[in-house]
Structure 1
Amino acid sequence: MKTNTTTVNGIDTQALLGAIEAIRNNPAEAQSKWHVTSHWKGGTRSETKVKSSQLGNQTIAKDFTIGIDEPLELCGTNQFANPQEYLMAALNACMIVGYTALTALEGIELEELRIETEGEIDIQGFLGLDPSVKPGYDHLRYTVHLKGDGTPEQFERIHRTVMATSPNYFNVANAVPLKSKLVLESPATV
Protein backbone atom coordinates (compact mmCIF):
# COMPACT_ATOMS: atom_id res chain seq x y z
CA MET A 1 0.00 0.00 0.00
CA LYS A 2 1.44 3.37 -1.04
CA THR A 3 1.43 5.98 1.70
CA ASN A 4 3.37 8.70 -0.11
CA THR A 5 3.21 8.83 -3.89
CA THR A 6 6.71 10.30 -4.17
CA THR A 7 8.42 7.79 -1.90
CA VAL A 8 8.65 4.24 -3.21
CA ASN A 9 10.88 1.60 -1.57
CA GLY A 10 12.38 4.33 0.62
CA ILE A 11 13.44 6.35 -2.45
CA ASP A 12 12.14 9.90 -2.90
CA THR A 13 11.36 9.60 -6.59
CA GLN A 14 10.88 13.36 -7.03
CA ALA A 15 14.34 14.01 -5.56
CA LEU A 16 15.83 11.29 -7.77
CA LEU A 17 14.15 12.67 -10.88
CA GLY A 18 15.37 16.15 -9.87
CA ALA A 19 18.94 14.88 -9.56
CA ILE A 20 18.68 13.15 -12.94
CA GLU A 21 17.40 16.35 -14.56
CA ALA A 22 20.09 18.50 -12.89
CA ILE A 23 22.81 16.18 -14.21
CA ARG A 24 21.18 16.06 -17.64
CA ASN A 25 21.32 19.88 -17.70
CA ASN A 26 24.86 20.10 -16.27
CA PRO A 27 26.93 16.93 -16.85
CA ALA A 28 29.74 18.33 -14.64
CA GLU A 29 27.46 17.60 -11.67
CA ALA A 30 27.77 13.87 -12.49
CA GLN A 31 31.49 13.77 -11.72
CA SER A 32 32.16 11.92 -8.48
CA LYS A 33 35.28 11.08 -6.51
CA TRP A 34 35.59 8.41 -3.84
CA HIS A 35 38.48 8.02 -1.43
CA VAL A 36 39.38 5.66 1.39
CA THR A 37 42.50 5.26 3.51
CA SER A 38 43.36 1.86 4.96
CA HIS A 39 45.70 1.35 7.93
CA TRP A 40 47.30 -1.89 9.03
CA LYS A 41 46.25 -2.78 12.59
CA GLY A 42 48.51 -5.80 13.15
CA GLY A 43 48.35 -9.32 11.82
CA THR A 44 45.80 -9.51 9.04
CA ARG A 45 43.63 -6.74 10.48
CA SER A 46 43.19 -3.39 8.81
CA GLU A 47 40.91 -0.44 9.27
CA THR A 48 39.61 1.68 6.43
CA LYS A 49 38.54 5.26 7.05
CA VAL A 50 36.07 7.12 4.88
CA LYS A 51 36.27 10.86 5.48
CA SER A 52 34.60 12.44 2.44
CA SER A 53 33.46 12.00 -1.12
CA GLN A 54 32.75 14.47 -3.86
CA LEU A 55 29.75 14.84 -6.14
CA GLY A 56 29.95 17.61 -8.70
CA ASN A 57 31.51 20.53 -6.88
CA GLN A 58 30.09 19.46 -3.51
CA THR A 59 32.23 17.75 -0.86
CA ILE A 60 30.22 15.36 1.29
CA ALA A 61 31.66 14.92 4.79
CA LYS A 62 31.66 11.37 6.14
CA ASP A 63 33.04 9.60 9.18
CA PHE A 64 32.96 5.84 8.67
CA THR A 65 35.31 3.08 9.74
CA ILE A 66 35.38 -0.33 8.09
CA GLY A 67 37.09 -3.15 9.98
CA ILE A 68 38.68 -5.92 7.90
CA ASP A 69 40.26 -9.21 8.98
CA GLU A 70 40.79 -12.80 7.91
CA PRO A 71 39.49 -16.00 9.47
CA LEU A 72 41.61 -17.83 12.03
CA GLU A 73 42.52 -20.42 9.39
CA LEU A 74 44.25 -17.68 7.35
CA CYS A 75 46.15 -16.30 10.37
CA GLY A 76 43.51 -13.73 11.21
CA THR A 77 41.44 -13.10 14.31
CA ASN A 78 38.05 -13.45 12.56
CA GLN A 79 36.86 -10.15 14.04
CA PHE A 80 35.53 -8.73 10.76
CA ALA A 81 34.60 -9.79 7.25
CA ASN A 82 37.55 -10.37 4.95
CA PRO A 83 38.43 -8.42 1.78
CA GLN A 84 36.65 -10.95 -0.48
CA GLU A 85 33.44 -10.65 1.52
CA TYR A 86 33.65 -6.84 1.34
CA LEU A 87 34.22 -7.06 -2.42
CA MET A 88 31.08 -9.15 -2.83
CA ALA A 89 29.14 -6.97 -0.38
CA ALA A 90 30.14 -3.85 -2.33
CA LEU A 91 29.03 -5.48 -5.58
CA ASN A 92 25.69 -6.54 -4.09
CA ALA A 93 25.06 -3.20 -2.38
CA CYS A 94 25.74 -1.24 -5.55
CA MET A 95 23.32 -3.40 -7.52
CA ILE A 96 20.71 -3.11 -4.75
CA VAL A 97 20.82 0.67 -5.13
CA GLY A 98 20.13 0.23 -8.84
CA TYR A 99 17.23 -2.21 -8.35
CA THR A 100 15.70 -0.03 -5.64
CA ALA A 101 15.96 3.21 -7.63
CA LEU A 102 14.75 1.72 -10.91
CA THR A 103 11.78 -0.06 -9.35
CA ALA A 104 10.88 3.11 -7.45
CA LEU A 105 10.94 5.19 -10.63
CA GLU A 106 8.52 2.71 -12.21
CA GLY A 107 6.26 2.77 -9.13
CA ILE A 108 7.00 -0.88 -8.34
CA GLU A 109 6.82 -1.57 -4.62
CA LEU A 110 9.29 -4.19 -3.46
CA GLU A 111 8.53 -6.76 -0.80
CA GLU A 112 11.94 -8.42 -1.02
CA LEU A 113 15.27 -7.75 -2.68
CA ARG A 114 18.15 -10.07 -1.88
CA ILE A 115 21.35 -10.84 -3.75
CA GLU A 116 23.46 -13.90 -2.99
CA THR A 117 27.00 -13.90 -4.42
CA GLU A 118 29.69 -16.56 -4.26
CA GLY A 119 32.96 -17.54 -5.84
CA GLU A 120 36.01 -19.70 -5.26
CA ILE A 121 39.68 -18.74 -5.01
CA ASP A 122 42.47 -21.30 -4.96
CA ILE A 123 44.63 -20.01 -2.08
CA GLN A 124 47.73 -21.50 -3.76
CA GLY A 125 47.76 -18.45 -6.03
CA PHE A 126 47.64 -16.00 -3.12
CA LEU A 127 50.39 -17.89 -1.28
CA GLY A 128 52.58 -17.97 -4.40
CA LEU A 129 52.82 -21.76 -4.26
CA ASP A 130 51.96 -22.38 -7.90
CA PRO A 131 52.54 -19.68 -10.55
CA SER A 132 49.96 -21.35 -12.82
CA VAL A 133 47.21 -20.68 -10.24
CA LYS A 134 45.80 -17.18 -10.42
CA PRO A 135 45.21 -15.40 -7.09
CA GLY A 136 41.63 -14.41 -7.88
CA TYR A 137 38.29 -15.68 -9.09
CA ASP A 138 37.59 -17.47 -12.35
CA HIS A 139 34.09 -16.04 -12.04
CA LEU A 140 31.53 -14.93 -9.48
CA ARG A 141 27.98 -16.27 -9.40
CA TYR A 142 25.11 -14.20 -8.10
CA THR A 143 21.38 -14.69 -7.76
CA VAL A 144 18.96 -11.80 -7.44
CA HIS A 145 15.74 -12.48 -5.55
CA LEU A 146 13.03 -9.92 -6.31
CA LYS A 147 9.48 -9.86 -5.05
CA GLY A 148 7.09 -6.98 -5.63
CA ASP A 149 4.13 -5.75 -7.61
CA GLY A 150 6.00 -5.48 -10.94
CA THR A 151 5.51 -7.75 -13.92
CA PRO A 152 8.12 -10.35 -14.91
CA GLU A 153 8.86 -8.22 -17.99
CA GLN A 154 9.47 -5.11 -15.84
CA PHE A 155 11.78 -7.01 -13.49
CA GLU A 156 13.71 -8.54 -16.41
CA ARG A 157 14.17 -5.09 -18.01
CA ILE A 158 15.29 -3.62 -14.66
CA HIS A 159 17.69 -6.56 -14.17
CA ARG A 160 19.30 -5.89 -17.58
CA THR A 161 19.49 -2.15 -16.81
CA VAL A 162 21.19 -2.76 -13.45
CA MET A 163 23.80 -4.96 -15.15
CA ALA A 164 24.38 -2.21 -17.72
CA THR A 165 24.59 0.71 -15.27
CA SER A 166 25.87 -0.48 -11.87
CA PRO A 167 29.36 0.97 -11.25
CA ASN A 168 30.52 -1.97 -9.14
CA TYR A 169 29.08 -4.50 -11.57
CA PHE A 170 31.14 -2.76 -14.26
CA ASN A 171 34.24 -2.59 -12.05
CA VAL A 172 34.11 -6.29 -11.19
CA ALA A 173 33.07 -7.48 -14.68
CA ASN A 174 35.75 -5.46 -16.50
CA ALA A 175 39.45 -5.04 -15.97
CA VAL A 176 39.92 -1.63 -14.36
CA PRO A 177 43.50 -0.38 -14.75
CA LEU A 178 45.22 0.13 -11.40
CA LYS A 179 47.90 2.79 -11.14
CA SER A 180 50.18 2.24 -8.16
CA LYS A 181 52.65 4.43 -6.36
CA LEU A 182 54.99 3.21 -3.60
CA VAL A 183 56.13 5.67 -0.95
CA LEU A 184 58.79 4.37 1.47
CA GLU A 185 58.70 6.03 4.86
CA SER A 186 61.90 6.51 6.81
CA PRO A 187 62.19 4.23 9.85
CA ALA A 188 61.77 5.93 13.19
CA THR A 189 65.03 6.88 14.88
CA VAL A 190 65.59 6.45 18.58
Structure 2
Amino acid sequence: MSETENLHQFAVEARSESSTRTAVEVRDFEFVVDEPEPLGGTDEGPNPVEYLLGSWAGCLNVVANLVARERDITIDSLDISIEGDLDPRGFKGASDDVRAGYQEVRVEIDAETDADDEELREWLEAVEQRCPVGDNLQHETPTEIELVDE
Protein backbone atom coordinates (compact mmCIF):
# COMPACT_ATOMS: atom_id res chain seq x y z
CA MET A 1 0.00 0.00 0.00
CA SER A 2 1.44 3.38 -0.97
CA GLU A 3 1.85 6.30 1.42
CA THR A 4 -0.93 8.25 -0.33
CA GLU A 5 -3.35 5.34 0.13
CA ASN A 6 -2.85 5.66 3.89
CA LEU A 7 -3.60 9.39 4.01
CA HIS A 8 -6.78 10.61 5.69
CA GLN A 9 -7.91 14.08 4.69
CA PHE A 10 -9.35 16.46 7.26
CA ALA A 11 -11.10 19.69 6.30
CA VAL A 12 -12.91 22.67 7.74
CA GLU A 13 -15.07 25.37 6.14
CA ALA A 14 -14.97 28.87 7.57
CA ARG A 15 -16.88 32.08 6.94
CA SER A 16 -15.89 35.56 8.05
CA GLU A 17 -18.71 37.09 10.10
CA SER A 18 -16.76 40.25 10.99
CA SER A 19 -13.20 41.49 10.95
CA THR A 20 -12.43 39.30 13.99
CA ARG A 21 -15.18 36.66 14.17
CA THR A 22 -15.05 33.48 12.09
CA ALA A 23 -17.68 30.74 12.01
CA VAL A 24 -16.05 27.35 11.45
CA GLU A 25 -17.73 24.10 10.44
CA VAL A 26 -16.11 20.69 10.67
CA ARG A 27 -18.08 17.48 10.19
CA ASP A 28 -21.29 18.05 12.23
CA PHE A 29 -19.75 20.67 14.53
CA GLU A 30 -19.64 24.45 14.50
CA PHE A 31 -17.49 26.76 16.54
CA VAL A 32 -16.60 30.44 16.69
CA VAL A 33 -13.15 31.95 16.49
CA ASP A 34 -12.98 35.53 17.79
CA GLU A 35 -10.61 37.94 19.42
CA PRO A 36 -10.91 39.36 22.94
CA GLU A 37 -12.27 42.88 23.23
CA PRO A 38 -8.82 44.50 23.81
CA LEU A 39 -7.81 43.18 20.37
CA GLY A 40 -10.96 44.50 18.68
CA GLY A 41 -13.13 41.41 18.94
CA THR A 42 -16.35 40.59 20.74
CA ASP A 43 -14.82 37.79 22.83
CA GLU A 44 -17.40 35.24 21.66
CA GLY A 45 -14.83 32.48 21.35
CA PRO A 46 -11.17 31.67 21.73
CA ASN A 47 -8.81 33.35 19.30
CA PRO A 48 -6.90 31.38 16.64
CA VAL A 49 -3.69 31.00 18.64
CA GLU A 50 -5.65 29.84 21.70
CA TYR A 51 -7.36 27.18 19.56
CA LEU A 52 -3.91 26.13 18.38
CA LEU A 53 -2.79 25.50 21.97
CA GLY A 54 -6.08 23.75 22.75
CA SER A 55 -5.69 21.56 19.67
CA TRP A 56 -2.25 20.50 20.84
CA ALA A 57 -3.57 19.72 24.33
CA GLY A 58 -6.42 17.66 22.89
CA CYS A 59 -4.07 15.78 20.60
CA LEU A 60 -1.61 15.10 23.43
CA ASN A 61 -4.47 13.69 25.51
CA VAL A 62 -5.56 11.30 22.76
CA VAL A 63 -2.05 10.11 21.96
CA ALA A 64 -1.06 9.85 25.64
CA ASN A 65 -3.99 7.54 26.32
CA LEU A 66 -3.39 5.54 23.13
CA VAL A 67 0.28 4.96 23.98
CA ALA A 68 -0.60 4.15 27.60
CA ARG A 69 -3.05 1.46 26.46
CA GLU A 70 -0.42 -0.02 24.14
CA ARG A 71 2.06 -0.20 27.02
CA ASP A 72 -0.43 -1.39 29.66
CA ILE A 73 -0.03 1.82 31.65
CA THR A 74 -3.05 2.94 33.65
CA ILE A 75 -3.62 6.69 33.65
CA ASP A 76 -5.56 7.78 36.72
CA SER A 77 -5.46 11.46 35.81
CA LEU A 78 -3.90 13.56 33.09
CA ASP A 79 -3.66 17.36 33.15
CA ILE A 80 -2.04 19.29 30.32
CA SER A 81 -1.05 22.95 30.55
CA ILE A 82 0.24 24.81 27.52
CA GLU A 83 1.31 28.42 27.27
CA GLY A 84 2.98 30.35 24.50
CA ASP A 85 4.66 33.71 24.01
CA LEU A 86 3.53 35.72 21.00
CA ASP A 87 4.67 39.21 20.03
CA PRO A 88 1.69 40.85 18.25
CA ARG A 89 3.99 43.17 16.28
CA GLY A 90 4.56 40.27 13.89
CA PHE A 91 0.98 39.69 12.77
CA LYS A 92 0.13 43.40 12.95
CA GLY A 93 2.94 44.14 10.49
CA ALA A 94 4.65 46.51 12.92
CA SER A 95 7.99 44.73 12.70
CA ASP A 96 9.60 42.61 10.00
CA ASP A 97 12.02 41.29 12.62
CA VAL A 98 9.31 39.55 14.69
CA ARG A 99 7.69 36.34 13.49
CA ALA A 100 3.90 36.32 13.34
CA GLY A 101 3.50 33.16 15.40
CA TYR A 102 4.55 32.01 18.81
CA GLN A 103 8.16 32.66 19.73
CA GLU A 104 8.06 29.79 22.24
CA VAL A 105 5.50 27.29 23.51
CA ARG A 106 5.81 25.33 26.75
CA VAL A 107 3.88 22.18 27.67
CA GLU A 108 3.51 20.67 31.14
CA ILE A 109 1.93 17.26 31.55
CA ASP A 110 0.88 16.09 35.00
CA ALA A 111 0.14 12.36 34.77
CA GLU A 112 -0.88 10.12 37.64
CA THR A 113 -0.11 6.58 36.47
CA ASP A 114 1.02 3.16 37.65
CA ALA A 115 4.22 3.43 35.58
CA ASP A 116 7.72 3.75 36.99
CA ASP A 117 10.04 6.62 36.04
CA GLU A 118 11.66 4.80 33.11
CA GLU A 119 8.28 3.72 31.69
CA LEU A 120 7.02 7.30 32.03
CA ARG A 121 10.07 8.71 30.26
CA GLU A 122 9.60 6.27 27.34
CA TRP A 123 5.83 6.90 27.30
CA LEU A 124 6.34 10.68 27.10
CA GLU A 125 8.94 10.29 24.36
CA ALA A 126 6.48 8.20 22.30
CA VAL A 127 3.64 10.66 22.94
CA GLU A 128 5.74 13.59 21.79
CA GLN A 129 6.91 11.72 18.70
CA ARG A 130 3.43 10.50 17.69
CA CYS A 131 1.28 13.57 18.36
CA PRO A 132 0.17 14.93 14.94
CA VAL A 133 -0.47 18.50 16.15
CA GLY A 134 2.86 18.63 17.95
CA ASP A 135 4.54 17.27 14.84
CA ASN A 136 3.03 20.08 12.75
CA LEU A 137 4.15 22.67 15.29
CA GLN A 138 7.67 21.34 15.67
CA HIS A 139 8.43 20.56 12.01
CA GLU A 140 7.89 22.51 8.84
CA THR A 141 4.77 21.38 6.98
CA PRO A 142 4.26 22.32 3.32
CA THR A 143 1.28 24.64 2.99
CA GLU A 144 -0.42 26.31 0.06
CA ILE A 145 -2.78 29.28 0.11
CA GLU A 146 -4.70 29.93 -3.08
CA LEU A 147 -6.96 32.85 -3.96
CA VAL A 148 -10.08 31.53 -5.68
CA ASP A 149 -11.17 33.68 -8.60
CA GLU A 150 -14.91 33.33 -9.16
TM-score (norm 2): 0.92
Match of 1:43 in 2: 19
CA contact (8 A) 2:77 2:111 kept: yes
Q: For the residues of structure 1 that align with 2:48 and 2:39, how far apart are their CA atoms?
A: 12
* TM, length-normalised to structure 1: 0.73
In the alignment, residue 170 of structure 1 is paired with which amino acid?
A: D
Deviations 1:8-64 (A, max 9, x none): xxxxxxxxxxxxxxxxx997774211011111111311011112xxxxxxxxxxx01
- Look up the SS of the partner of 1:124 in the other structure: coil
1:148 corresponds in structure 2 to: 113
Pair 182,121 (structure 1): closer, same or farther in 2 beyond 3 Å:
same
What is the root-mean-square deviation of aligned Cα atoms in Å? Answer: 1.8
4+ residue segments displaced more than 2 Å: 25-31
Q: State the match for 1:105 in structure 2.
A: 70
Aligned partner of 1:171 in structure 2 is 136
The answer as to 2:10 corresponding to 1:34 is yes
Unaligned runs of 5+ in 1: 1-24, 52-62, 186-190
SS of the residue 1:67 aligns to? strand
Q: CA offset at residue 145 of structure 1?
A: 0.8
TM-fit CA distance, 1:137: 1.5
Would you say how many aligned residue pairs link Structure 1 and Structure 2?
150
- The structure that has the greater radius of gyration is 1
Query: Who is 1:58 aligned against?
Result: none
What's the % identity of the aligned pairs?
Answer: 28
**Equivalent of 1:85 in 31, 42, 50:** 50
Structure 2: distance between partners of 1:90 and 1:34: 14
